[in-house]
Structure 1
Amino acid sequence: MTTLTAPVVQPFSKELNTSCCFESRSYKEALARLNLMIQNRYLGVLTGEVGGGKSTLIRRLFADLDDMTYAPIYLCKAGLKPRDFYGAMLTHMGVEPCYNVGKARQQWEEALQARTAQGERMMVVVVDEAHEMSDAMLSELRFVMNHNMDSCSLFPLILVGQPELRKILRLKKHEATVQRIGMQYHLTAMTKEETYGYIRHHMKVAQMDKPLFAEGALQRVFAASQGLPRVTNQICTQTLLDVTNKDLEVIEESHIARVLADMDRQRGIGGSSS
Protein backbone atom coordinates (compact mmCIF):
# COMPACT_ATOMS: atom_id res chain seq x y z
CA MET A 1 0.00 0.00 0.00
CA THR A 2 1.41 3.36 -1.05
CA THR A 3 1.37 6.19 1.48
CA LEU A 4 0.59 9.57 -0.03
CA THR A 5 2.66 12.42 1.33
CA ALA A 6 1.07 15.83 1.56
CA PRO A 7 2.77 18.38 -0.69
CA VAL A 8 5.18 20.67 1.10
CA VAL A 9 3.80 24.19 1.38
CA GLN A 10 6.42 26.87 0.94
CA PRO A 11 6.53 29.22 3.93
CA PHE A 12 6.13 32.42 1.95
CA SER A 13 3.65 31.36 -0.75
CA LYS A 14 -0.03 32.16 -1.26
CA GLU A 15 -0.76 28.47 -0.72
CA LEU A 16 -0.21 28.84 3.00
CA ASN A 17 -3.55 28.57 4.80
CA THR A 18 -4.66 32.05 5.85
CA SER A 19 -5.45 30.79 9.34
CA CYS A 20 -1.75 30.02 9.76
CA CYS A 21 -0.52 33.44 8.69
CA PHE A 22 1.30 35.67 11.14
CA GLU A 23 -0.96 38.28 12.72
CA SER A 24 0.62 41.68 13.25
CA ARG A 25 -1.07 44.23 15.48
CA SER A 26 -2.53 46.06 12.49
CA TYR A 27 -3.66 42.77 10.89
CA LYS A 28 -5.55 41.78 14.05
CA GLU A 29 -7.18 45.19 14.33
CA ALA A 30 -8.17 45.17 10.66
CA LEU A 31 -9.70 41.70 10.94
CA ALA A 32 -11.67 42.75 14.02
CA ARG A 33 -13.01 45.83 12.26
CA LEU A 34 -13.91 43.88 9.14
CA ASN A 35 -15.97 41.53 11.29
CA LEU A 36 -17.69 44.51 12.90
CA MET A 37 -18.49 45.86 9.42
CA ILE A 38 -20.18 42.56 8.65
CA GLN A 39 -22.04 42.25 11.94
CA ASN A 40 -23.40 45.79 11.65
CA ARG A 41 -23.97 45.59 7.88
CA TYR A 42 -21.89 48.69 7.28
CA LEU A 43 -20.58 50.35 4.20
CA GLY A 44 -16.92 49.95 5.21
CA VAL A 45 -13.51 50.90 3.87
CA LEU A 46 -10.18 49.07 4.18
CA THR A 47 -7.08 50.69 2.73
CA GLY A 48 -3.41 49.75 2.73
CA GLU A 49 -0.20 50.01 0.72
CA VAL A 50 0.45 47.81 -2.31
CA GLY A 51 1.61 44.45 -0.95
CA GLY A 52 0.43 45.33 2.55
CA GLY A 53 -1.67 42.20 3.07
CA LYS A 54 -5.18 43.36 2.11
CA SER A 55 -5.87 40.34 -0.14
CA THR A 56 -4.71 37.92 2.55
CA LEU A 57 -7.04 39.63 5.01
CA ILE A 58 -10.03 39.28 2.70
CA ARG A 59 -9.24 35.62 2.05
CA ARG A 60 -9.04 35.08 5.81
CA LEU A 61 -12.29 36.97 6.33
CA PHE A 62 -14.16 34.89 3.76
CA ALA A 63 -12.66 31.63 5.03
CA ASP A 64 -13.90 32.39 8.54
CA LEU A 65 -17.48 33.17 7.50
CA ASP A 66 -20.22 30.69 8.38
CA ASP A 67 -21.40 29.19 5.07
CA MET A 68 -24.89 28.71 6.50
CA THR A 69 -25.24 32.40 7.37
CA TYR A 70 -23.25 34.39 4.81
CA ALA A 71 -22.80 34.45 1.03
CA PRO A 72 -19.45 36.13 0.24
CA ILE A 73 -19.21 38.00 -3.06
CA TYR A 74 -15.91 39.35 -4.38
CA LEU A 75 -15.85 41.99 -7.13
CA CYS A 76 -12.65 43.26 -8.72
CA LYS A 77 -12.85 45.31 -11.89
CA ALA A 78 -10.82 48.35 -12.93
CA GLY A 79 -13.02 51.38 -13.43
CA LEU A 80 -16.08 49.68 -11.91
CA LYS A 81 -19.26 51.39 -13.12
CA PRO A 82 -22.84 51.10 -11.82
CA ARG A 83 -23.78 48.89 -14.76
CA ASP A 84 -20.90 46.54 -13.93
CA PHE A 85 -21.89 46.39 -10.27
CA TYR A 86 -25.57 45.74 -10.80
CA GLY A 87 -24.82 43.27 -13.57
CA ALA A 88 -22.51 41.22 -11.34
CA MET A 89 -24.79 41.35 -8.31
CA LEU A 90 -27.97 40.48 -10.21
CA THR A 91 -26.24 37.64 -12.01
CA HIS A 92 -25.14 36.28 -8.64
CA MET A 93 -28.76 36.47 -7.48
CA GLY A 94 -29.97 34.61 -10.54
CA VAL A 95 -31.54 37.62 -12.24
CA GLU A 96 -30.87 38.63 -15.86
CA PRO A 97 -29.77 42.28 -15.54
CA CYS A 98 -31.16 45.04 -17.72
CA TYR A 99 -28.66 47.12 -19.65
CA ASN A 100 -30.26 50.38 -18.53
CA VAL A 101 -28.79 51.43 -15.18
CA GLY A 102 -32.07 52.83 -13.85
CA LYS A 103 -33.93 49.61 -14.57
CA ALA A 104 -31.06 47.50 -13.22
CA ARG A 105 -31.22 49.52 -10.00
CA GLN A 106 -34.92 48.75 -9.71
CA GLN A 107 -34.22 45.06 -10.37
CA TRP A 108 -31.60 45.16 -7.64
CA GLU A 109 -33.98 46.67 -5.10
CA GLU A 110 -36.66 44.11 -5.86
CA ALA A 111 -34.27 41.15 -5.84
CA LEU A 112 -32.64 42.28 -2.60
CA GLN A 113 -35.98 42.75 -0.84
CA ALA A 114 -37.17 39.33 -2.04
CA ARG A 115 -33.94 37.69 -0.94
CA THR A 116 -34.20 39.23 2.51
CA ALA A 117 -37.88 38.32 2.89
CA GLN A 118 -37.07 34.70 2.04
CA GLY A 119 -34.43 34.56 4.77
CA GLU A 120 -31.60 33.71 2.43
CA ARG A 121 -27.96 33.98 3.48
CA MET A 122 -26.80 37.54 3.93
CA MET A 123 -24.49 38.74 1.20
CA VAL A 124 -21.06 40.02 2.21
CA VAL A 125 -19.84 42.12 -0.70
CA VAL A 126 -16.19 43.13 -1.11
CA VAL A 127 -15.19 45.50 -3.91
CA ASP A 128 -11.43 45.25 -4.41
CA GLU A 129 -9.25 47.86 -6.15
CA ALA A 130 -11.90 50.37 -5.08
CA HIS A 131 -9.49 53.28 -5.65
CA GLU A 132 -10.08 52.63 -9.36
CA MET A 133 -13.88 52.83 -9.13
CA SER A 134 -15.56 55.37 -11.37
CA ASP A 135 -16.95 58.53 -9.76
CA ALA A 136 -20.37 57.37 -10.94
CA MET A 137 -20.01 54.12 -8.95
CA LEU A 138 -18.92 55.93 -5.81
CA SER A 139 -21.99 58.12 -6.08
CA GLU A 140 -24.17 55.11 -6.85
CA LEU A 141 -23.28 53.59 -3.48
CA ARG A 142 -25.87 55.92 -1.96
CA PHE A 143 -28.57 53.99 -3.80
CA VAL A 144 -26.94 50.59 -3.36
CA MET A 145 -26.99 50.96 0.44
CA ASN A 146 -30.25 52.95 0.72
CA HIS A 147 -33.14 50.77 1.87
CA ASN A 148 -36.44 51.67 3.54
CA MET A 149 -35.76 55.40 3.26
CA ASP A 150 -32.21 54.96 4.51
CA SER A 151 -33.37 53.43 7.80
CA CYS A 152 -31.38 50.20 7.51
CA SER A 153 -28.81 48.28 5.53
CA LEU A 154 -29.59 44.76 4.36
CA PHE A 155 -25.99 43.68 3.82
CA PRO A 156 -22.39 44.85 4.38
CA LEU A 157 -20.36 46.27 1.51
CA ILE A 158 -16.61 46.69 2.02
CA LEU A 159 -14.43 48.83 -0.26
CA VAL A 160 -10.81 47.70 -0.38
CA GLY A 161 -8.13 49.81 -2.01
CA GLN A 162 -4.81 51.58 -1.96
CA PRO A 163 -4.19 54.76 0.10
CA GLU A 164 -5.38 56.80 -2.88
CA LEU A 165 -8.93 55.76 -1.96
CA ARG A 166 -8.73 57.82 1.23
CA LYS A 167 -7.82 60.91 -0.80
CA ILE A 168 -10.67 60.29 -3.22
CA LEU A 169 -13.18 59.96 -0.41
CA ARG A 170 -12.10 63.32 1.02
CA LEU A 171 -13.31 65.10 -2.13
CA LYS A 172 -16.40 67.23 -1.55
CA LYS A 173 -18.31 65.58 -4.39
CA HIS A 174 -18.33 62.28 -2.52
CA GLU A 175 -19.58 63.69 0.79
CA ALA A 176 -23.00 62.02 0.50
CA THR A 177 -21.34 58.62 0.13
CA VAL A 178 -18.77 59.25 2.86
CA GLN A 179 -21.52 60.06 5.36
CA ARG A 180 -22.82 56.51 4.88
CA ILE A 181 -19.48 54.87 5.74
CA GLY A 182 -19.89 53.09 9.05
CA MET A 183 -16.26 52.14 9.64
CA GLN A 184 -12.89 52.73 8.02
CA TYR A 185 -9.43 51.30 8.69
CA HIS A 186 -5.96 51.73 7.20
CA LEU A 187 -3.75 48.62 7.34
CA THR A 188 -0.18 49.59 8.18
CA ALA A 189 3.03 47.71 7.40
CA MET A 190 4.69 45.45 9.96
CA THR A 191 7.20 46.86 12.41
CA LYS A 192 10.79 45.58 12.42
CA GLU A 193 10.03 43.21 15.29
CA GLU A 194 6.85 42.00 13.58
CA THR A 195 8.75 41.36 10.35
CA TYR A 196 11.24 39.21 12.25
CA GLY A 197 8.35 37.36 13.91
CA TYR A 198 6.59 36.98 10.55
CA ILE A 199 9.60 35.26 8.95
CA ARG A 200 10.23 32.95 11.90
CA HIS A 201 6.53 32.09 12.23
CA HIS A 202 6.09 31.19 8.56
CA MET A 203 9.22 29.03 8.59
CA LYS A 204 7.86 27.22 11.64
CA VAL A 205 4.39 26.73 10.11
CA ALA A 206 6.01 25.20 7.01
CA GLN A 207 8.02 22.93 9.35
CA MET A 208 11.33 24.21 8.06
CA ASP A 209 13.90 23.90 10.84
CA LYS A 210 16.72 25.20 8.68
CA PRO A 211 18.18 27.30 7.39
CA LEU A 212 17.70 29.89 10.11
CA PHE A 213 17.67 33.58 9.26
CA ALA A 214 20.45 35.28 11.21
CA GLU A 215 19.78 38.60 12.92
CA GLY A 216 21.70 40.48 10.24
CA ALA A 217 19.68 38.75 7.50
CA LEU A 218 16.42 39.68 9.19
CA GLN A 219 17.56 43.28 9.45
CA ARG A 220 18.42 43.37 5.75
CA VAL A 221 15.02 41.89 4.79
CA PHE A 222 13.17 44.51 6.84
CA ALA A 223 15.29 47.35 5.44
CA ALA A 224 14.40 46.25 1.91
CA SER A 225 10.74 45.38 2.50
CA GLN A 226 9.82 48.08 5.03
CA GLY A 227 7.50 45.55 6.62
CA LEU A 228 5.33 44.91 3.56
CA PRO A 229 4.35 41.20 3.58
CA ARG A 230 4.42 40.72 -0.20
CA VAL A 231 7.92 42.15 -0.55
CA THR A 232 9.07 40.16 2.48
CA ASN A 233 7.65 37.01 0.86
CA GLN A 234 9.45 37.71 -2.42
CA ILE A 235 12.82 38.28 -0.76
CA CYS A 236 12.57 35.25 1.52
CA THR A 237 11.34 32.97 -1.27
CA GLN A 238 14.19 33.99 -3.56
CA THR A 239 16.66 33.55 -0.71
CA LEU A 240 15.46 30.03 0.07
CA LEU A 241 15.70 29.14 -3.62
CA ASP A 242 19.20 30.60 -3.74
CA VAL A 243 20.44 28.44 -0.87
CA THR A 244 18.67 25.25 -1.98
CA ASN A 245 20.99 22.24 -2.05
CA LYS A 246 23.73 24.21 -0.28
CA ASP A 247 22.94 22.53 3.05
CA LEU A 248 23.22 25.80 4.94
CA GLU A 249 22.34 25.98 8.61
CA VAL A 250 22.09 29.78 8.67
CA ILE A 251 21.17 32.48 6.17
CA GLU A 252 23.46 35.44 6.67
CA GLU A 253 23.10 39.08 5.67
CA SER A 254 25.42 38.46 2.72
CA HIS A 255 22.94 35.98 1.25
CA ILE A 256 20.13 38.54 1.43
CA ALA A 257 22.37 41.18 -0.14
CA ARG A 258 23.17 38.85 -3.04
CA VAL A 259 19.50 38.04 -3.59
CA LEU A 260 18.48 41.70 -3.48
CA ALA A 261 21.18 42.58 -6.03
CA ASP A 262 19.97 39.80 -8.32
CA MET A 263 16.34 40.90 -7.97
CA ASP A 264 17.39 44.43 -8.96
CA ARG A 265 19.28 43.09 -11.99
CA GLN A 266 16.25 41.11 -13.12
CA ARG A 267 14.19 44.30 -12.96
CA GLY A 268 16.82 46.26 -14.84
CA ILE A 269 17.84 48.27 -11.80
CA GLY A 270 21.34 49.01 -10.59
CA GLY A 271 23.58 47.97 -13.42
CA SER A 272 23.89 45.78 -16.45
CA SER A 273 21.86 42.56 -16.74
CA SER A 274 24.43 40.98 -19.04
Structure 2
Amino acid sequence: MMVQHRYFGVLTGEVGSGKSTLVRHLVQTLDPMRYQVIYLSQAGMKPRDFYGEMLRHLGEEPLFSLTKAKRLFEEVLRTRVERRDKSLVVIIDEAQDITPAMLLELRFALNQQMDSVSLFTLILVGQSELRRTLRKNKFEAVAQRIQLRFHLTGLTEEESADYIRHQMKTAAMTSPLFSDSALQLIYSATQGIHRLINHICTYALYDAQQRGSDVVEDKDIGRILADMERQRGTAG
Protein backbone atom coordinates (compact mmCIF):
# COMPACT_ATOMS: atom_id res chain seq x y z
CA MET A 1 0.00 0.00 0.00
CA MET A 2 2.79 2.41 0.88
CA VAL A 3 4.45 2.13 -2.52
CA GLN A 4 1.20 2.02 -4.47
CA HIS A 5 0.05 5.32 -2.96
CA ARG A 6 3.52 6.92 -3.05
CA TYR A 7 3.66 7.52 0.68
CA PHE A 8 6.42 9.10 2.74
CA GLY A 9 7.62 6.54 5.30
CA VAL A 10 10.27 6.35 8.00
CA LEU A 11 11.91 3.12 9.22
CA THR A 12 14.12 3.37 12.30
CA GLY A 13 15.90 0.98 14.63
CA GLU A 14 19.17 0.37 16.43
CA VAL A 15 22.24 -0.93 14.60
CA GLY A 16 21.70 -4.59 13.74
CA SER A 17 17.95 -4.55 14.35
CA GLY A 18 17.15 -5.76 10.83
CA LYS A 19 16.46 -2.54 8.92
CA SER A 20 18.57 -3.53 5.91
CA THR A 21 16.97 -6.98 5.80
CA LEU A 22 13.50 -5.45 5.82
CA VAL A 23 14.39 -2.97 3.08
CA ARG A 24 15.89 -5.73 0.92
CA HIS A 25 12.72 -7.76 1.37
CA LEU A 26 10.58 -4.79 0.33
CA VAL A 27 12.67 -4.19 -2.80
CA GLN A 28 12.54 -7.88 -3.73
CA THR A 29 8.74 -7.85 -3.55
CA LEU A 30 8.44 -4.93 -6.00
CA ASP A 31 7.73 -5.74 -9.64
CA PRO A 32 10.72 -4.36 -11.60
CA MET A 33 8.41 -3.79 -14.55
CA ARG A 34 6.35 -1.36 -12.46
CA TYR A 35 8.83 0.22 -10.06
CA GLN A 36 12.25 1.84 -10.25
CA VAL A 37 14.10 1.85 -6.94
CA ILE A 38 16.74 4.49 -6.26
CA TYR A 39 18.90 3.77 -3.22
CA LEU A 40 20.88 6.65 -1.71
CA SER A 41 23.31 6.46 1.19
CA GLN A 42 25.61 9.40 1.73
CA ALA A 43 26.73 10.84 5.05
CA GLY A 44 26.19 14.57 5.18
CA MET A 45 23.88 14.56 2.17
CA LYS A 46 22.87 18.08 1.13
CA PRO A 47 20.05 19.21 -1.20
CA ARG A 48 22.49 19.63 -4.08
CA ASP A 49 23.74 16.06 -3.59
CA PHE A 50 20.18 14.72 -3.46
CA TYR A 51 18.98 16.37 -6.66
CA GLY A 52 22.23 15.59 -8.45
CA GLU A 53 22.01 11.88 -7.61
CA MET A 54 18.31 11.73 -8.43
CA LEU A 55 18.80 13.31 -11.85
CA ARG A 56 21.73 11.02 -12.56
CA HIS A 57 19.64 7.94 -11.74
CA LEU A 58 16.83 9.28 -13.91
CA GLY A 59 19.13 9.64 -16.90
CA GLU A 60 19.54 13.42 -16.72
CA GLU A 61 22.67 15.52 -16.49
CA PRO A 62 23.00 17.00 -12.98
CA LEU A 63 22.86 20.80 -12.97
CA PHE A 64 25.08 23.09 -10.93
CA SER A 65 22.26 25.50 -10.13
CA LEU A 66 20.18 24.09 -7.27
CA THR A 67 17.11 26.00 -8.42
CA LYS A 68 17.38 24.63 -11.95
CA ALA A 69 18.09 21.12 -10.66
CA LYS A 70 14.93 21.20 -8.54
CA ARG A 71 12.88 22.45 -11.47
CA LEU A 72 14.25 19.77 -13.81
CA PHE A 73 13.64 17.09 -11.17
CA GLU A 74 9.99 18.09 -10.89
CA GLU A 75 9.58 18.18 -14.68
CA VAL A 76 11.08 14.71 -15.07
CA LEU A 77 8.84 13.26 -12.37
CA ARG A 78 5.69 14.83 -13.80
CA THR A 79 6.54 13.53 -17.25
CA ARG A 80 7.08 10.03 -15.85
CA VAL A 81 3.71 10.06 -14.11
CA GLU A 82 1.90 11.41 -17.18
CA ARG A 83 3.49 8.73 -19.38
CA ARG A 84 2.74 6.08 -16.75
CA ASP A 85 6.41 5.15 -16.54
CA LYS A 86 7.71 3.03 -13.69
CA SER A 87 6.71 4.41 -10.30
CA LEU A 88 9.70 5.82 -8.47
CA VAL A 89 10.69 4.51 -5.02
CA VAL A 90 13.47 6.47 -3.30
CA ILE A 91 15.21 4.94 -0.28
CA ILE A 92 17.59 7.12 1.74
CA ASP A 93 19.64 4.90 4.06
CA GLU A 94 21.56 6.11 7.13
CA ALA A 95 19.17 9.06 7.07
CA GLN A 96 20.23 10.11 10.57
CA ASP A 97 23.41 11.42 8.91
CA ILE A 98 21.88 13.70 6.27
CA THR A 99 22.18 17.43 6.92
CA PRO A 100 19.37 19.42 8.57
CA ALA A 101 19.05 21.37 5.32
CA MET A 102 18.44 18.12 3.42
CA LEU A 103 15.87 16.95 5.94
CA LEU A 104 14.00 20.23 5.55
CA GLU A 105 14.30 20.01 1.76
CA LEU A 106 12.33 16.75 1.77
CA ARG A 107 9.21 18.73 2.62
CA PHE A 108 9.55 20.74 -0.57
CA ALA A 109 10.53 17.73 -2.69
CA LEU A 110 7.36 15.98 -1.56
CA ASN A 111 5.20 19.05 -2.14
CA GLN A 112 5.28 18.28 -5.86
CA GLN A 113 2.05 16.40 -6.41
CA MET A 114 -0.36 15.35 -9.11
CA ASP A 115 -4.02 14.74 -8.24
CA SER A 116 -3.11 15.23 -4.56
CA VAL A 117 -0.63 12.32 -4.72
CA SER A 118 3.13 12.67 -4.36
CA LEU A 119 5.17 12.10 -7.51
CA PHE A 120 7.33 9.45 -5.82
CA THR A 121 7.57 7.17 -2.79
CA LEU A 122 10.17 8.19 -0.21
CA ILE A 123 11.47 5.95 2.56
CA LEU A 124 13.95 7.21 5.15
CA VAL A 125 15.91 4.47 6.90
CA GLY A 126 17.98 5.32 9.94
CA GLN A 127 18.99 4.70 13.51
CA SER A 128 16.90 5.78 16.49
CA GLU A 129 18.61 9.17 16.36
CA LEU A 130 16.50 9.96 13.28
CA ARG A 131 13.33 9.49 15.31
CA ARG A 132 14.57 11.91 17.94
CA THR A 133 15.56 14.44 15.29
CA LEU A 134 12.15 14.38 13.66
CA ARG A 135 10.53 15.18 17.01
CA LYS A 136 12.29 18.55 17.17
CA ASN A 137 10.18 21.63 16.49
CA LYS A 138 12.50 22.61 13.66
CA PHE A 139 11.41 19.55 11.67
CA GLU A 140 7.72 19.57 12.61
CA ALA A 141 6.66 20.40 9.04
CA VAL A 142 8.61 17.39 7.76
CA ALA A 143 7.29 15.08 10.47
CA GLN A 144 3.71 16.06 9.63
CA ARG A 145 4.21 14.76 6.11
CA ILE A 146 5.16 11.26 7.29
CA GLN A 147 2.37 8.83 6.50
CA LEU A 148 3.92 5.61 7.80
CA ARG A 149 6.36 5.13 10.67
CA PHE A 150 7.91 1.87 11.82
CA HIS A 151 10.49 1.40 14.57
CA LEU A 152 12.31 -1.91 14.84
CA THR A 153 13.05 -3.13 18.34
CA GLY A 154 14.88 -6.25 19.43
CA LEU A 155 13.09 -9.59 19.43
CA THR A 156 11.57 -10.93 22.63
CA GLU A 157 13.26 -13.89 24.31
CA GLU A 158 10.76 -16.30 22.76
CA GLU A 159 11.10 -14.67 19.34
CA SER A 160 14.90 -14.85 19.58
CA ALA A 161 14.76 -18.60 20.24
CA ASP A 162 12.27 -19.09 17.39
CA TYR A 163 14.50 -17.00 15.10
CA ILE A 164 17.55 -19.15 15.86
CA ARG A 165 15.60 -22.37 15.29
CA HIS A 166 14.22 -21.00 12.03
CA GLN A 167 17.69 -20.05 10.80
CA MET A 168 18.95 -23.53 11.65
CA LYS A 169 16.04 -25.11 9.79
CA THR A 170 16.53 -22.85 6.78
CA ALA A 171 20.19 -23.91 6.65
CA ALA A 172 19.08 -27.57 6.92
CA MET A 173 21.11 -27.97 10.11
CA THR A 174 19.90 -30.55 12.61
CA SER A 175 22.91 -30.28 14.90
CA PRO A 176 24.39 -28.93 16.99
CA LEU A 177 21.31 -27.92 18.96
CA PHE A 178 21.16 -24.93 21.28
CA SER A 179 20.07 -25.82 24.80
CA ASP A 180 17.34 -23.72 26.41
CA SER A 181 19.87 -22.20 28.80
CA ALA A 182 22.14 -21.30 25.86
CA LEU A 183 19.22 -19.60 24.10
CA GLN A 184 18.45 -17.65 27.26
CA LEU A 185 22.05 -16.45 27.55
CA ILE A 186 22.14 -15.45 23.88
CA TYR A 187 19.03 -13.35 24.40
CA SER A 188 20.46 -11.78 27.54
CA ALA A 189 23.64 -10.81 25.66
CA THR A 190 21.91 -9.51 22.52
CA GLN A 191 18.54 -8.18 23.72
CA GLY A 192 17.09 -9.67 20.56
CA ILE A 193 19.19 -7.69 18.06
CA HIS A 194 19.40 -9.78 14.87
CA ARG A 195 22.97 -8.96 13.93
CA LEU A 196 24.32 -9.80 17.38
CA ILE A 197 22.34 -13.04 17.48
CA ASN A 198 23.73 -14.03 14.09
CA HIS A 199 27.29 -13.21 15.12
CA ILE A 200 27.18 -15.18 18.38
CA CYS A 201 25.41 -18.17 16.82
CA THR A 202 27.87 -18.36 13.93
CA TYR A 203 30.74 -18.33 16.40
CA ALA A 204 28.98 -20.95 18.59
CA LEU A 205 28.24 -23.32 15.71
CA TYR A 206 31.83 -23.16 14.49
CA ASP A 207 33.08 -23.76 18.03
CA ALA A 208 30.76 -26.77 18.49
CA GLN A 209 31.87 -28.21 15.16
CA GLN A 210 35.52 -27.89 16.16
CA ARG A 211 34.81 -29.67 19.47
CA GLY A 212 32.63 -32.33 17.83
CA SER A 213 29.74 -31.45 20.11
CA ASP A 214 26.06 -31.98 19.23
CA VAL A 215 24.78 -29.43 21.75
CA VAL A 216 25.66 -25.80 22.46
CA GLU A 217 25.31 -25.21 26.21
CA ASP A 218 25.17 -21.98 28.19
CA LYS A 219 28.76 -22.52 29.36
CA ASP A 220 29.84 -22.57 25.70
CA ILE A 221 28.02 -19.30 25.03
CA GLY A 222 29.57 -17.80 28.18
CA ARG A 223 33.05 -18.73 26.97
CA ILE A 224 32.33 -17.34 23.51
CA LEU A 225 31.04 -14.06 24.94
CA ALA A 226 34.19 -13.78 27.06
CA ASP A 227 36.35 -14.41 23.97
CA MET A 228 34.45 -11.77 22.01
CA GLU A 229 34.87 -9.29 24.86
CA ARG A 230 38.62 -9.94 24.96
CA GLN A 231 38.85 -9.44 21.20
CA ARG A 232 37.06 -6.11 21.49
CA GLY A 233 39.48 -5.08 24.22
CA THR A 234 42.46 -6.03 22.07
CA ALA A 235 41.03 -4.18 19.07
CA GLY A 236 40.44 -1.11 21.21
TM-score range, shorter chain: over 0.9
Q: Give CA deviations for 1:169-209 in whole Å, capped at 9, x if unaligned.
A: 11111122112111111111100000000000000000011
Aligned-partner Cα distance in 2 for 1:191–1:106: 48
Within the alignment, does 1:244 sit opposite 2:215 as a pair? no
Q: Is the 8 A contact 1:146 1:152 kept in 2?
A: no
1:65-100 CA-partner distances (Å, limit 9, x unpaired): 111111111111111111111111110110001122
Matched, 1:185 2:175: no
Q: 2:32 corresponds to which residue?
A: 67
- TM-superposed deviation, 1:150: 8.8
Q: Deviations over 1:212-252 (max 9, x none)?
A: 00011101100000000000001001111222233211111
For residues 31-71 of structure 1, the C-alpha deviation after alignment (integer angstroms, 9 at most, x for no partner) is xxxxx321221111111111100000001110111111111
- SS of 1:267's equivalent? helix
* Identity score, percent: 53
For the structure 1 residues 150 and 131, does the alpha-carbon distance in structure 2 shift closer, same or farther, using more than 3 Å as the test?
farther
Secondary structure of 1:207's aligned partner = coil
**Structure 1 125/148 Cα, relative in aligned 2: closer, same or farther at 3 Å?**
closer
- SS at structure 1 position matched to 2:147: strand
Which one of the candidate residues 153, 157, 166 is aligned to 2:131? 166
**1:189 alignment partner, SS class:** coil
Q: Could you tell me which amino acid in structure 2 is paired with residue 238 of structure 1?
A: Y
**So what's the TM-score if we normalise by structure 2?**
0.95
Match of 1:109 among 74, 86, 96: 74
In structure 1, what residue type is equivalent to 2:80? R
Residue from 146, 150, 174 that aligns with 2:111: 146
Secondary structure of 2:72's counterpart equals helix
CA 1:149–1:206: 2 relative to 1, 3 Å: closer
After superposing on structure 2, the runs of 4+ consecutive aligned residues of structure 1 that deviate more than 6 Å are none
Are the counterparts in 1 of residues 208 and 214 from structure 2 also a CA contact under 8 Å?
Answer: no
What corresponds to 1:198 in structure 2?
A: 163
Report whether the alignment pairs 1:54 with 2:19: yes
Instruction: Identify the residue that residue 259 of structure 1 maps to in structure 2.
Output: 224
Counterpart CA distance in 2 for 1:45 and 1:165 is 9
Q: CA deviation at 1:161?
A: 0.7
Q: What is the aligned length? A: 235
- Distance in 1 between residues matched to 2:37 and 2:228, nearest whole Å: 37
Q: In 2, Cα distance between the equivalents of 1:256 and 1:210?
A: 16
Q: Is the 8 A contact 1:138 1:177 kept in 2?
A: yes
**1:151 Cα deviation after fit:** 2.7
Deviates more, 1:131-140 or 1:190-199: 131-140
Deviates more, 1:210-219 or 1:97-106: 97-106
Distance 1:213 1:148, change over 3 A: closer
- Which letter does structure 2 place at the counterpart of 1:85? F
2:59 aligned counterpart, secondary structure: coil
Q: TM-score, normalised by structure 1?
A: 0.82
Cα offset for 1:120? 1.0
Q: Distance in 2 between matches of 1:215 and 1:171?
A: 44
> Residues 1-12 of structure 1: matches in 2 within 5 Å?
none
Whether the aligned pair in 1 keeps the contact of 2:134 and 2:143 (CA below 8 Å) is yes
Whichever residue aligns with residue 124 of structure 2, its letter is L
